[in-house]
Structure 1
Amino acid sequence: MHVPDGFIDVPVSAATGVIAAAAVAVSLRGARRELNERTAPLAGLVAAFIFAVQMLNFPVAAGTSGHLLGGALAAILVGPYTGVLCVSVVLLMQGILFADGGLTALGVNITDMALTTTVVSYLVFRALVRLLPRTRRSVTVSAFVAALLSVPAAALVFTLIYEIGGTTDIPIGDVLTAMVGVHVLIGIGEAAITALTVGAVIAVRPDLVYGARGLSAPLKLRVGGQLVDAAPEQPAPAAVPAAARSTRGVWAAGIVAALVLAGFVSFYASSSPDGLEKVAADKGIDKKTEEHASADSPLADYGVKDISDARISGGLAGVIGVGATVVVGSGVFWAVRRRREGTDSTNSTGSVTAGGSA
């Protein structure tokens, strides 16, 4: 659903740029509360994984494909504020390096693909987690439904933005019907990917899933065909506090998976246009599409310039993209984490000083 340059006029693109900048600023502040010494390194991994999976377009209807948006996945794994930042980093990398999503439309894309999907999915997810039995399966089911609803929500927001600032005169009812209809189907794929990923992580390290925190009821285990309460976790030895449990295994497995998906599996992705591209071509939204400012990038269109073999070119571009995204994302989240530590240190010093004065 990457909006290219030319779909939306300059004033509305600028307005969504302001909204996107405000959302990122608020998310930078909110992410300080979500990230800790274990999860901060994983946030960069989540961004890289979303980048990789977005390369895997899957067929959803005749001549149409879809791909992961990633807002629900990021919000549930690392938190809604950090989720907005994860998807924003992915969109920035795609726009600058791969000419995917217009640079003047970056505000539109962040507002639609990062902000909308994350907020909608997390609100739905939290509501379902409160209503359903407090089990790991409920977290996975909630992730599925939240991801499913987030995609047509993003399609609806794009339609509203297009109604206000579209550069072509197309009946809004036609655009709405086409966009929401195809993105409901894409949402099924999004939901499946999100639920499978969340389920896999929660099965191995539930402590790393942000959306699974704060469950008051014990998790359930199936023993002899019956559901029983899982034994409460024993406190970790003093020499190895729980907060220090290594995340290296999860991080390494995630990076390997992202590299394999982007570097190898992506070659077999559907070549059909995605939902927005198909609707734009069918309805005439793309009549005023402008050439991307990064069209001459050596990685434009997810291929390495001057490498004629499509498999090698696309795979190498995917590997480079994963590497760039994890480096930039990890840098952002490391800086956020450092800022939190600095703030905590300042607050602690202030409290001690105040106490001493008293």
Structure 2
Amino acid sequence: MHMADALVAPAVATTMYVCSAAAATYSVKKVRLESEPKKIPVMGIMGAFVFATQMINFTIPGTGSSGHLCGGMLLSALLGPSAGFLTMIGVLLIQCLLFADGGLLALGCNIWNMAFYGCFIGALLIWKPIMKKGFSKTKIALASILGCVITLQLGAFSVTLETMASGITSLPFGTFVATMQPIHLAIGFVEGLITTAVLIFVYEARPELLYGNTETGKKQGRFSFKKTLVILGVLVVLIGGCLSLVASSHPDGLEWSIEKITGSTEVESSGGIYDTVGEIQENTALLPDYAFKNSGSTFGTTFSGIVGSLIVVGVCVGVCYVFKFFRKKKGS
């Protein structure tokens, strides 16, 4: 659901950058108050996990469309809304600059649509209330599926609103909404199942890692903290390096919706700021579309999945130390 620059007018792009920056500023302030240094490696590994899994587009049967994990709900269920949101920003920034996945002008929109709803709405209005009276596998599944479906619907609707407000495409609002919402309902359900599987694994391995879980004495984890992270790290390498090679070739929900209306998955714009940001992104994208430039080698995808995941880990962990996140407070 990464929006391209051609969908967004500069005024709308600027507005969404401001909104996303405000949410990021709030998140930085909240995270700096936390005294949980163990979250630093979790932030890195799970950021890499979301990056890797977003490379795997799964086919939506009978539609000719595909979808991929968004990740906001998953991250916030482990890290909380603020840390999850900042991790998602890291993932989306790297995707945009190094892999040309999503437009640079539209980055503020993509952060809001894919990170804000999943991390804040998902964690605070869905996950937290459901887990209020205790954790269980059934509750985790309910919160994961409900959270992914609702937040992805909100994100898809925001895409149509931002496109309408921009007024630079021929996409009619009513038709665009009627096409976007159903396909993202299906994508959200599949994401909910994937999120459920990951969170139930964590619940069995180290239950205290789940956001809001204070019942650490009631359930003993199957693995140590270090072993749990190692298992998740191995999954990142397998997903990004191997499973990404068998990703669906069908257009994602946004591209599919545009194609249904216009007959093409691409919407183009040129001139002024579009040429400028396009040139910047072309210069920063070392592996455009997760492949080597001017090469059809499948090794480019494997390389992108592994190297991209490592960069996400480095960025997320590095930011934690630079901004002094999760520092152990005196007396804690």
TM-score of the superposed pair, with normalisation by structure 1: 0.82
Distance in structure 2 (CA, Å) of the matches to 1:166 and 1:258: 39
Structure 1 residues 40-49 or 279-288, which shifts more? 279-288
Amino acid at match of 1:22: A
1:125 counterpart = 2:111: no
| 8 Å CA contact retained: 1:24, 1:85 | yes
Alpha-carbon distance, 1:48 to partner: 0.5
Residues 65-84 of structure 1 aligned to structure 2 (within 5 Å): 65-84=66-85
- Alpha-carbon distance change, 233 to 272 in structure 1, aligned in 2, over 3 angstroms: closer
Paired position in structure 1 for 2:322: 335
Paired position in structure 2 for 1:224: none
SS of equivalent residue, structure 2 residue 5: coil
Paired position in structure 1 for 2:112: 111
Amino acid at match of 1:319: I
- Alpha-carbon distance change, 134 to 308 in structure 1, aligned in 2, over 3 angstroms: closer
Amino acid at match of 2:42: L
Paired position in structure 1 for 2:303: 316
Residues 112-191 of structure 1 aligned to structure 2 (within 5 Å): 112-122=113-123, 123-130=125-132, 134-191=135-192
1:300 pairs, out of 288, 300, 319, with 288
Structure 1 residues 190-199 or 137-146, which shifts more? 137-146
Paired position in structure 2 for 1:257: 235
SS of equivalent residue, structure 1 residue 130: coil
SS of equivalent residue, structure 1 residue 288: coil
Paired position in structure 1 for 2:254: 276
Amino acid at match of 1:287: V
- Alpha-carbon distance change, 247 to 233 in structure 1, aligned in 2, over 3 angstroms: closer
SS of equivalent residue, structure 2 residue 327: helix
SS of equivalent residue, structure 1 residue 341: coil
- Alpha-carbon distance change, 119 to 308 in structure 1, aligned in 2, over 3 angstroms: same
- Alpha-carbon distance change, 339 to 2 in structure 1, aligned in 2, over 3 angstroms: closer
SS of equivalent residue, structure 1 residue 170: coil
Alpha-carbon distance, 1:95 to partner: 0.3
Distance in structure 1 (CA, Å) of the matches to 2:198 and 2:237: 16
Alpha-carbon distance, 1:3 to partner: 0.5
**CA-to-aligned-CA distance 1:73-113 (integer Å, 9 cap, x gap):** 00101111111111111100000000000011111111111
Amino acid at match of 2:316: G
Distance in structure 2 (CA, Å) of the matches to 1:15 and 1:286: 24
Distance in structure 2 (CA, Å) of the matches to 1:160 and 1:185: 20
- Alpha-carbon distance change, 39 to 69 in structure 1, aligned in 2, over 3 angstroms: same
Superposed structure 1 runs of 4+ greater than 6 Å apart: none
Distance in structure 2 (CA, Å) of the matches to 1:134 and 1:71: 20
RMSD: 2.4
Alpha-carbon distance, 1:295 to partner: 3.5
Distance in structure 1 (CA, Å) of the matches to 2:75 and 2:176: 28
- Identity rate, percent: 30
List runs of 5+ in structure 2 lacking aligned partners.
Answer: none
Amino acid at match of 2:306: V
| 8 Å CA contact retained: 2:31, 2:82 | yes
- Alpha-carbon distance change, 202 to 166 in structure 1, aligned in 2, over 3 angstroms: farther
TM-score of the superposed pair, with normalisation by structure 2: 0.88
Indicate the structure (1 or 2) with the bigger Cα radius of gyration.
1
Amino acid at match of 1:42: V
- Alpha-carbon distance change, 214 to 248 in structure 1, aligned in 2, over 3 angstroms: closer
SS of equivalent residue, structure 1 residue 69: coil
List runs of 5+ in structure 1 lacking aligned partners.
Answer: 220-230, 235-244, 349-358
Paired position in structure 2 for 1:288: 268
Paired position in structure 2 for 1:353: none
**CA-to-aligned-CA distance 1:118-148 (integer Å, 9 cap, x gap):** 22211112222237x6434323332222122
**CA-to-aligned-CA distance 1:220-262 (integer Å, 9 cap, x gap):** xxxxxxxxxxx7469xxxxxxxxxx963212221111111101
SS of equivalent residue, structure 2 residue 66: strand
- Alpha-carbon distance change, 171 to 114 in structure 1, aligned in 2, over 3 angstroms: same
Distance in structure 2 (CA, Å) of the matches to 1:209 and 1:126: 11
